[in-house]
Each structure stands twice: as C-alpha cells, then as structure tokens.
Structure 1
Amino acid sequence: MGTGLWKEVHSNGTIYFEIETKDGYFTDTLKLYNDKGRLIEK
C-alpha cells in the first residue's frame, strides 16, 4: 500500500471506497460509496 490516497472502484467504474495511508497504515476516515458514486458511510 505505501503512502497516499488509496481508492477502489465498483465494476461499473464508480468509486467504491477511498482512504489515506502512510507507510501502509490507514491515517484517515474510510469513505464508502454506493454503486452510483454517492457517499454512504464514513
């Protein structure tokens, strides 16, 4: 993982989640998105 913004996408290409990492550790709040790209949970 390393350092930076880590993102994954749904099979339709919209964002699934994003989180900041530093040296392989999570440093920020995980943001989850539905398959329409709408933020559903922090």
Structure 2
Amino acid sequence: NMFHRCIDKGLKFLRSEWLIRSIVEYRMANIVQYHCDPFDTIDRSE
C-alpha cells in the first residue's frame, strides 16, 4: 500500500514536472519567435 502511494506520488510529481517543463518550453519558444521574427521586427521599425 505504501509502495503504491509512493509510485502515485512519483507519477504526480513527474506529471507536474513535465507540465511545467512543457509550459516553460512553449513560452520560451513564443518569446524567441516574438523577438526573432524578421517580419515582426520590420513592422516595428516602420
């Protein structure tokens, strides 16, 4: 029973870690795209 509880905690932890990591990567990709898009910078300079 304790063993299953430990596995359950581990799975919840891994799931939250994966979720946080995917959110961070998604946001970082958006930030990079936002700042590095050539059309975007051209539009801003004009």
Instruction: Give the TM-score category using the shorter length.
Output: under 0.3
Which has the larger Rg? 2
Q: TM-score, normalised by structure 1?
A: 0.16
TM-score normalized with structure 2 length: 0.16
Query: Bigger relative contact order, structure 1 or 2, given CA contacts below 8 A and separation 6+?
Result: 1
